[in-house]
Amino acid sequence: MSEPLLSWWQLYGRQDPAQKPWMFKSDGTWPLPEDNLSSYGIWIAEVMLQQTQLSVVLPYWQRWMARFPTVDAFATSSLEQVRLQWQGLGYYSRARRLHEAARVLVQQPWPKDLDGWMALPGVGRTTAGGIVSSAFNAPAPILDGNVKRVLARLHTHGRPPSRDQHLFWRWSEELLDLRRPRDFNQALMDLGATVCTPRRPGCDQCPWRASCAAYASGDPSGWPVVEERKPLPFQVIGIGVVINEAGDVLIDQRLEEGLLGGMWEFPGGKQEPGEPIEACIARELMEELGIEVSVGESLITVDHAYSHKKLQFVVHLCRWMSGDPKPLASQQVRWVRPEQLKDYPFPAANVRIIEALLGRLSRTNQLQGPGEGS
Ligand code: SF4
C-alpha cells in the first residue's frame, strides 16, 4: 500500500513550503529521512490543526511564530496575550493547555517519543504521533479526521469510526511505512484532504483504488458511517452591552473550565420560556453581576452555531443604574473604554457585537458633532 501512495504523493502531495512551512527545513527543502525538524513549530501547528482546517490554520500559525518565535517567548507571555493570538480559532481550551505545556517544556528536555509528548497538556495520541513522525521521522501512526475517512472507506467499515477507535488505530499502525513514517503520514493526510474528500471522492486519481472496498461498492461516499444526527438544541441568549455615565463598557471574563473558558464577553444569559428579552437581560445582569440596568434599544442579533448547539444572541444597549459589578458567575468584571475592547480576547460572536457597538458609537458621535457629545 505504501509504494503507490508515496509515488502519488511525490507528484500530487501538498509539498509546498507556503502551505505547511513547519514541515520544511530552514532552506525550504523537504526533510530527508535522517533529518530532524524543530518540534516547536510542528507542535503549535498540530494543536491548531486538531479542530481546524489547514487553510484556516496557516495565517494563525504565521502570526503566532512572528509573535512567539521561541518557546521561551511563548511561555513568558501572559495567557491573555496568548488568547489574543488564538482569537477566532475556537476551542479555546487548546490555547490554555498549550500555554501550560510551554511552561513545562522550558523546564525540561524536549520529548522525542510518543509517551513524552502525550504527558503534556493538550496532546493526545494523534497530535503526539503527528509531532514525532513529522519532527523526528519516528514510526508513530496518526488518526485524524482525514485518515479515519480513508480507512473507513478502504474497509467499508459498518460503524462510525468513533465507536471503534482501537480498530482504526490498528489499521493506521498496520499501514504505516516504517522506513518513511514522516512521508507516509503526510501522504495519508494529503490523500484524505485532497482526493478522498467527504463528498464526491476523486477515486479516479486515487492510488489505492484497486484495494478500496468502498470504491468497489460503487458508492464510496457512503462511508464513513455517521452517527444519526439529532437536531441541535436552540437557545436565545439575552446580552446587555452596559454603558456607564463615563461611557465605559462592562465586560466579564468567563470561568476557565467549560466552553470558551477564559475568554471575555458581554454579560447575559438564557431566555426563560415566555420571558421578554428585555426582562431576561435585566434578570441575568442582576443574577450574574448584581447590577441594576435600564435595558434600551436593540444593538444587533447574532446567530452562532457550535458543534453541539445553536445560539441566537439578542443584544441590547443598557444604561447602568446601580450596584457595583461583581463576578458572581465569572472570573472578573471590568469597565473598559470602547476603543480598548480590541485588547481583550473575545469569541467570534462577541467580535460582531463589538463591531456593531463601535459602528453605533461612531454614528452617534457624528450626529452629535464636535462639542455636543458631553
Ligand atoms: S478509492 Fe476512492 S474511496 Fe477509496 S480511498 Fe481512494 S478516494 Fe477514497
CA of 146 to the centre of ligand 1 (A): 12
Q: Which atom of ligand 1 has the smallest separation from the CA of 208?
A: 6
Return the sign of the alpha-carbon dihedral for residues 41, 44, 47, 51.
negative
* End-to-end alpha carbon distance in the chain: 74
Q: Which contiguous run of DSSP H or E holds residue 213?
A: helix 213-217
Q: Which contiguous run of DSSP H or E holds residue 136?
A: helix 125-136
**Strand partners of residue 332:** 253
C-alpha cell at 289: 453581576
Within 10 angstroms of residue 162's Cβ, the number of other Cβ atoms is 11
CA of 206 to the centre of ligand 1 (A): 6
Query: Is 355 considered catalytic here?
Result: no
What is this structure's pTM?
Answer: 0.88
Rounded Cα gap, residues 184 and 187, in angstroms? 5
DSSP state of 356: H
Q: Does residue 207 line the site of ligand 1, with CB under 6 A?
A: no
Catalytic residue among 3, 46, 173, 292: 46
Q: Which atom of ligand 1 has the smallest separation from the CA of 206?
A: 6
The confidence score (pLDDT) of residue 69 equals 97
Domains and CATH numbers, the chain: 2-222 (1.10.340.30), 234-368 (3.90.79.10)
Q: Does residue 195 line the site of ligand 1, with CB under 6 A?
A: yes
Q: Does residue 150 line the site of ligand 1, with CB under 6 A?
A: yes
Rounded Cα gap, residues 211 and 155, in angstroms? 9
CA of 160 to the centre of ligand 1 (A): 17
Q: Which atom of ligand 1 has the smallest separation from the CA of 213?
A: 4
CA of 155 to the centre of ligand 1 (A): 10
The confidence score (pLDDT) of residue 371 equals 46
Rounded Cα gap, residues 349 and 312, in angstroms? 10
Q: Does residue 220 line the site of ligand 1, with CB under 6 A?
A: yes
Q: Which atom of ligand 1 has the smallest separation from the CA of 221?
A: 3
Spell out, as residue ranges, where the chain has pLDDT lower than 70.
366-374
CA of 79 to the centre of ligand 1 (A): 43
**Strand partners of residue 121:** none
Q: Output the CA–CA distances (angstroms, integers) from residue 53 to 61, 65, 360, in the order listed.
A: 12, 18, 34
The confidence score (pLDDT) of residue 364 equals 83
Rounded Cα gap, residues 151 and 76, in angstroms? 41
Task: Report pLDDT digits (tens) over 140-155.
Answer: 999 999 999 999 999 9
The confidence score (pLDDT) of residue 366 equals 67
The confidence score (pLDDT) of residue 374 equals 34
